Structure 1
Amino acid sequence: MQRDELADFLRRRRLAIRPADVGLVEGPRRRTAGLRREEVALLAGMSTDYVVRLEQGRSAQPSAQLLSALARALRLTEDERDHLYHLAGVTPPRTSGGVTHARAGLLRMLDLLGDTPATVASDLGETLAQNRMAMLLLGDQTRFRGDERYHVWRWFTDPQWRALYPAQDADHHGRVSVADLRATAARRHGDADVDGLVRRLLAASPEFAALWGEHEVAVRRSDRKRIVNRQVGLVHVDCETLVTPDLGQKLLVLTPQPGTDAAEKLALLSVVGLQHFST
């Protein structure tokens, strides 16, 4: 681990970012050229003290999960992210087959969406980045490792994961997830990452195996969802999916369904979230 170079790199990247670049408001009395350390900590979901220790070269070796969070918070490119990992003495995430780092342009779109929940996901359903509102509504979906980082794996192997949606919607979500994975498997025919995930799902879940055998194929581009949030209850949202030209990543935007109280509940959740972050 190259502590001094890591500290210098983090300081320089923090000072190079304007608050507006990450969806923050610049106050009239702002003196910092870039982001404040507490703002980086907020965006990365870690303590300000830890960010300070990293920038002062006093921290222990950060984990891959912490480095990934810092890379997202500082809007690093893939090359910059890999450099961050190397300075910390950690092997960068493998990117063959799929991608594990959200595109910079999609991260900027997340910031511009403000209080509209939105996430960036890979074509295999791995959440690569979330904005603050998506984190408040859905929880941190970037923390998973191994097969658990794929939404479809959690759906068919972890019953608790389904608590995010009403029980009567489970069949719909299962079918949509399998059909979307079918489309990815066809497009990436012979890809070891896709084939391996499908093979492990077939062995782990009879329900998945039954749906996979029906050969339904459809890229998920839009959907209506009912999300159970423990703080504000049931939230009705429309989900629009914007796919990159190479189909490798997608931006999922959740907007309140007209005729429901979703807008009021999201506004309340935003206030509750501000109180949570302030404490």
Structure 2
Amino acid sequence: MASTQPEFATLLRAWRDRLSPADAGFTVTDGRRAPGLRREELAQLAGLSVDYVLRLEQGRARNPSAQVVGALARTLQLARPERDQLYRSAGLLPPRDGTVSTHVPPGIQRLAARLGDVPIGVFAADWTLVWWNSTWSALHGDPTVLPAVERNLVRALFGDGAAHAAMLPVRSERGQDAFAASIVADLKDAASRYPADVRLDRLVRELRETSDAFAELWATRTTAAQHTTDQKTIRHPEVGDILLDCDVLVVPGADLRMVTYTAAAGSSDADKLGLLHITGLRTAHSLRTHQR
């Protein structure tokens, strides 16, 4: 498919100007002149450099990858027809039906952005992290430091790459074995629903070859419960052990999972979570200031 780069640049600028900063999770101040997202805010949310976003908007960066276009489409909260238009303007075919979708509907992003004090991560059907807020980053570490392919919970549990190395020590109330089994059960269900998804097939084949624990769980005929609700103790390098309720909310019609962490009001764990929320806001503000 031939690239129509000028159209891509025009769409990118127009849709950045259209998106309300509040809907993207940013605090709007009186002195703000830009009607939509600033370029550095788009870059931060999409996990790209400001310079690269600038070159895309000026038409100087050619042939952005499907991964980059997908990240921009999610950040800009595009509806599916607009997402497909952005892919085509970059000379790419839009994601096909029958494959795992990484599209996060705008309404879900707006809802999650308004719950900024709660760590929220949105995962695709194969447990790839596709959206998160600053409090999630403060709790689990910044996902943007990982290669996009490593932003996957299954890789964190069973792989031997960057995702596994970055995962904080976590103790599950249900037991770590039960938690791992539930994640594999979710992946088996996804594989049965998306048999034509190349990336999902590659993930399963790779982990079956490199992880005995994964291969054993994948081969078992016993159906484990899917991952829904749990209580976890996370060993955080700054606040120490923090006990949180982990809830997994399914997004109807989108095949996404919204993972949230909360603590009982008035508890020391709630205080620690509040501290991490402030840390996340400060980090995001510092990043925006540095990028100007």
TM-score between the two structures when normalised by the length of structure 1: 0.82
Q: 1:10 to 1:196 in 2, by over 3 A?
A: closer
1:210 aligns with 2:216: yes
Higher relative contact order (CA 8 A, sep 6+): 2
Q: 1:62 aligns with which of 56, 61, 64?
A: 64
Partner of 1:238: 245
1:264 aligns with 2:271: yes
Which 10-residue stretch deviates more, 82-91 or 181-190? 181-190
Per-residue CA deviation, residues 114-173 of structure 1 (Å, 9 max, x unaligned), is: 121101112321212111211232234475555x45422331122772663437659933
Amino acid at match of 2:127: G
Aligned-residue offset at 1:200 = 4.5
Q: 1:131 to 1:199 in 2, by over 3 A?
A: same
Aligned-residue offset at 1:239 = 0.9
Per-residue CA deviation, residues 199-221 of structure 1 (Å, 9 max, x unaligned), is: 55333322223344272421222
Take 2:240 and 2:152, find their aligned partners in 1: how far apart are those partners? 25
Amino acid at match of 2:53: V
Partner of 1:127: 129
Give the secondary structure class of the aligned counterpart of 2:175.
helix
Partner of 1:219: 226
Take 1:58 and 1:183, find their aligned partners in 2: how far apart are those partners? 41
Structure 1: stretches of 5+ with no match in the other structure: none
Which 10-residue stretch deviates more, 183-192 or 253-262? 183-192
Q: 2:176 aligns with which of 165, 169, 173?
A: 173
Aligned-residue offset at 1:253 = 0.9
For 1:82-101, what aligned pairs fall within 5 Å after superposition?
82-101=84-103
Q: 1:81 to 1:206 in 2, by over 3 A?
A: same
Take 2:41 and 2:207, find their aligned partners in 1: how far apart are those partners? 39
Q: 2:113 aligns with which of 102, 111, 114?
A: 111
Aligned-residue offset at 1:9 = 0.4
Aligned-residue offset at 1:28 = 2.4
1:4 aligns with 2:10: no
CA RMSD of aligned residues (A): 3.2
Per-residue CA deviation, residues 241-276 of structure 1 (Å, 9 max, x unaligned), is: 111335821111111355753333333333433244
Per-residue CA deviation, residues 48-84 of structure 1 (Å, 9 max, x unaligned), is: 3433332222334433333233222211223322322
1:33 aligns with 2:35: yes
Aligned partners of 2:18 and 2:36 also within 8 Å:
yes
Q: 1:175 to 1:230 in 2, by over 3 A?
A: same
Partner of 2:17: 15
Q: 1:223 to 1:15 in 2, by over 3 A?
A: same
Q: 1:229 to 1:80 in 2, by over 3 A?
A: farther
Take 2:264 and 2:130, find their aligned partners in 1: how far apart are those partners? 25
Aligned partners of 2:23 and 2:109 also within 8 Å:
no
Q: 1:12 to 1:225 in 2, by over 3 A?
A: same
Aligned partners of 1:163 and 1:228 also within 8 Å:
no
Structure 2: stretches of 5+ with no match in the other structure: none
- Percent identity between the aligned chains? 37
Aligned-residue offset at 1:190 = 6.6
Take 1:167 and 1:40, find their aligned partners in 2: how far apart are those partners? 31
Give the secondary structure class of the aligned counterpart of 1:46.
coil
Partner of 1:71: 73
Count residues with an aligned counterpart.
278
